[in-house]
Amino acid sequence: MKKALLITCVMCGSILSASASGNKKITENKNKKTATVTKKAAAVVENRANHLSDQMIRELGLNNYQSRKVREINMEVVAQKMAVEQEFAGNQALIEEKCKAICDVRDRELEDVLSTRQYNTYFGNRPAYNQVEQEFMANLAKQNKTQEIATSTDSKSANSENTITLN
């Protein structure tokens, strides 16, 4: 149990340090609004990839090396998928085509990392892993919408309080 906790901490630390070193464009960007969006997107990519990786690690019974490699692969894949989703927003057919090609590359990469048994299990469960990703994004969208509603309600309340104070 202690080893698993230690390994998880080490992996999270290495992912955070890798993502921090890879986000130089964020700090170089002079437009604060764009930088904030970019930071949020990077956080979403990391959370989405980690969520999927955690699921795969549990279900496939991966060792430390495999876990690290799967996290790296998923981080790249999720970043590519999100870029495609943003670039081709509104054209679902094209998004699905591009994401399928990205996932095909992931399949080839995972084939080199996983044992035959693990890869066969992964390959059979790909629809379930895609569903995990979609549910994660749907939940994230729902949370964002709830936060936006709460924020707009708070600002309306503040405006009405200001109106009352001014009279």
Residue 164 or residue 145, greater confidence: 145
- 164: pLDDT strictly greater than 50: no
Residue 25 or residue 58, greater confidence: 58
114 DSSP assignment:
S
CA pair distance 132, 138, nearest whole angstrom? 10
Phi first, then psi, for residue 116 (nearest 5°) are -60, -45
Structure tokens at 108: 């080839």
Binned at pLDDT 50, 70 and 90, residue 40 comes out as: confident
- Sign of the torsion angle spanned by Cα atoms 145, 83, 111, 113: negative
Q: What per-residue confidence (pLDDT) applies to 117?
A: 97
Q: What per-residue confidence (pLDDT) applies to 24?
A: 41
